Structures are given as structure tokens and as C-alpha cells.
Amino acid sequence: MLVIPFANPKAQYLARKLEIDAAISRTLESGWYILGQEVERFEREFAKFLGVNFCVGVGNGTDALALALLSVGVNPGHEVITVANTAIATIAAIEQIGAIPVLADVDLQTRCLDPKTIEGLVTSRTKAIVPVHLFGQPAPMEDINALACKWGLKVVEDCAQAHGAEILGKKVGSYGDAAAFSFYPTKNLGALGDGGAVVTNSEETAETVRQIREYGWTTRFVSNRPGVNSRLDEIQAAVLRVKLPFLDSDNARRRSIAQRYEKAINSCLLVSPKSIDGTLTAMHLCVIECQDREGVKEFLEKEGIGTAIHYPMSVHEQPAYTGRLRGEEYLPCTELLSKKNLSLPMYPELTELEVRHICSVLTQWCRTEGHA
Ligand SMILES: Cc1ncc(COP(=O)(O)O)c(C=O)c1O
């Protein structure tokens, strides 16, 4: 039986094995392993790809968010408005710097921050908004930026799932005061270990992140401010430089696979991802919505198809957070989505045979259930 894992980062390594092995070997031979030419070049190349002025490589996406928030002036005790329909990392990063996450609801179509739910949450302590471009779908940045401007708030985009996504032809990551990316291996641009980056158009913000990522140093051994150790390493940067030129075409392949899934489940109870006007999704995850989630999941798994749930619990339903975050009492759309979500395999290395198999099993499920 064909077995199709839900995620397959090794397939991406194998797809570019020669270039990746050469890049790693070049880095090993250079004898320079931390903050050298590979990181500098990657930072320049990724900033250019996104159309922003600066990129600063850090240790992972959670740190990227934490350092970005600190660098735009979020301090302990400040409130940061974000969503509960996200990876726990979004909230962890806010709390990591002593700030207070406040939860707004999402829009059922984009599954991202619903701008209409922001204003009721703003207080004198609110300092920033963190929209998450969830599953690769851009959040409505123009409306969010307009509200931020009205209330004097900073905007830090969580782009961990949206490398290469666009709004009106402009890449996400270029809309906020700063933005955070993760290069976790299964991301659209994934390293072979942990990695992250902060991007911004502000020289001052970039310089602050550069200092904080390495003990607050302005020059070696001189700390200008308290800092941490969160550096993107040379080997990961070298790997990312190999993969970056393929990002747009990989994303296009993801979108075309999603369209095939969408066609396969057409007219059955499943609601497939909608394409939203003016935006280009990076299709990080292909998340369908089903009434009988367990039924679909089991049916696919019996046919060798791996699935996952993003996320089985929203942030405010997690034991570590429940009952203590402002906003958690009214998140109807977030809660509705978390009961129905099911993620299908979505990576550019899925073969034609695998995509056809997934499509045919999806269609079969719809027929069995009498919906098609
Ligand atoms: C939405 C979101 N934000 C932040 C992160 C954190 O990234 P990392 O795992 O690199 O710390 C992730 C990664 O899972 C994510 O999906």
C-alpha cells in the first residue's frame, strides 16, 4: 500500500541533496560556524526576496517573534493583541518577554485575526498587535495597520507559516513594523534544524535585534543592553540559501496540489480552502473543515494517508493557559474552527502518484458518505 506521511522534510533534502551537501561541506571547510558570510548573505537574499530593507537571522521563530516585539518597544507588562487560533509559539513568545497576550477572534474565511474584534480589546497598556498569517493565508494587513495607526500600536507579523505569501503583489513580512519567520524543517522555507529571522524596514529595529540576539553586544564583549543568545548558524543559513530560489515555485506547486484536493472533494460536506481576493496564499497547510473529522481521518489513514489537526486545542483551551488570558471568554469563530479542522499532506515533493491517490481517496469518502 502507498504510505504518504503527513509531512516529509527528508523528501525536500533529497530533492536538493547535491546542492545542500555542497553548501554544508563548503561551510564546514570554511572553519567559520557562527555569524559569518553564509548568514550575512542569506540575510541579504531573504530581505531582497521579501522586498524589505533588513533581515536578521536568529535561533528560531519563537525567538524571532520575541526579539521583534522587544525591538519595536514592547516591554514587560505591555499587552499584545493576537489570536488563539495559532501555534502555541505565538503566545509563548509574547510571554517570554514578560508581555501579556490578549486574545482576539478570527474570521471564519481567512482563519486569521478579524480586525473587527481588535478595538474592544485595546486598553492603555496595549502596545502591539501580532497578526498570524495562518496556514499560509495572509491576514488582512491593510485593515490591521489602519487600526494600529488609529490607536498608536506597533504591528509585528507572525510569518512562520507564510514565507512568500502576498497581499496585492507585496510579500507578507513587509507590512508590519517588523515580522518574524521560522525556518523549522517543515516550513515552506525550512532549514535542517532550528532557525528564524526578524525582518523590518527600520534600521533601528534591525540593529536592536542584532544586538539582542548576541548578549546585547554592540561590538564583541561590549554589551549595550541585556541580550540573549539566539543566532542563526552558518550551516542552516547555507542550507536556506540553497532552498530560497525555489520558494516561489514550491509555493506554486503547493497551491496547485490544494486545487486538486479542492476539486476532489467538490460538492461533499468538506469545505475546502477558499482563495481570497487580492491575496496569494503560501499554502503552508491544506486544512479542510469536516463535520465528521474522526471519520475522514480514519478513512484516509486506512488508505495510508497521514493527517494532522491544527490545532486540536486553541491556546485558551490548553492547560497552561486556560482561565488566565484576557479575551478568552468570547472566541466563537476560533472555537468553531478548532472542532472541524483536518490537515492533509501538503508539501511540494508529493509525487503525482501520491496526489492522485489522495484525491481519489477523498472523492471515495465523499461518495461513501453519499455527498457526491
Ligand atoms: C504560527 C507560528 N508562530 C511561531 C512559530 C515558532 O517557530 P519555531 O518553531 O521556529 O520557534 C511557529 C512554528 O511552529 C508557528 O507555526
Per-residue model confidence as pLDDT tens digits over 210-241: 999 999 999 999 999 999 999 999 999 999 99
Q: Which amino acid, residue 252?
A: A
Q: What gap in Å lies between CA 312 and CA 315, rounded to an integer?
A: 10
- Show me where the domains of the chain are located: 9-245, 247-368
Q: Decide: 59 in ligand 1 pocket, CB within 6 A.
A: no
Pocket test for ligand 1, best of 135, 184, 231, 346 (most atoms within 8 A of CB): 184
The length of the chain in residues reads 372
Burial of 249 (0-12, 13-18, 19+ CB in 10 A): exposed
Q: 31-85 pLDDT, tens per residue? A: 999 999 999 999 999 999 999 999 999 999 999 999 999 999 999 999 999 999 9
Task: Take atom 14 of ligand 1 and give the residue whose Cα is closest.
Answer: 87
Pocket test for ligand 1, best of 161, 189, 284, 310 (most atoms within 8 A of CB): 161
Q: Which amino acid, residue 30?
A: S
Query: For residue 226, what is its C-alpha cell?
Result: 541585556
Q: 155-202 pLDDT, tens per residue? A: 999 999 999 999 999 999 999 999 999 999 999 999 999 999 999 999
Q: What gap in Å lies between CA 165 and CA 252, rounded to an integer?
A: 10
**Among 186, 349, 156, CA closest to 257:** 349
Q: What gap in Å lies between CA 72 and CA 52, rounded to an integer?
A: 16
pTM, full prediction: 0.97
Q: Decide: 182 in ligand 1 pocket, CB within 6 A.
A: yes
Q: How far is ligand 1, taken at its centre, from the CA of residue 183, in Å?
A: 8
Q: 259-307 pLDDT, tens per residue? A: 999 999 875 655 656 678 899 999 999 999 888 899 999 999 999 999 9
Query: For residue 327, what is its C-alpha cell?
Result: 479575551
Query: For residue 267, what is its C-alpha cell?
Result: 460538492
The pLDDT assigned to 105 comes to: 98
Q: Decide: 90 in ligand 1 pocket, CB within 6 A.
A: yes
- For 247-368, CATH number out of 3.40.47.10, 3.40.50.2300, 3.90.1150.10, 3.40.50.150 equals 3.90.1150.10
Could you please report the per-residue DSSP string of 175-196? SSSEEEEE--TTSSS--SS--E
Q: How far is ligand 1, taken at its centre, from the CA of residue 90, in Å?
A: 7
**Among 159, 204, 205, 189, CA closest to 61:** 159
- Atom from ligand 1 closest to the CA of residue 60: 10
Burial of 308 (0-12, 13-18, 19+ CB in 10 A): middle
Q: Decide: 85 in ligand 1 pocket, CB within 6 A.
A: no
Topology of 9-245 in CATH? Aspartate Aminotransferase; domain 2 (3.40.640)
Query: What are the φ/ψ torsions at residue 176 (nearest 5 degrees)?
Result: -90, 180
The answer to whether 107 and 114 are in contact (CB under 8 A) is yes
Q: What gap in Å lies between CA 56 and CA 115, rounded to an integer?
A: 29
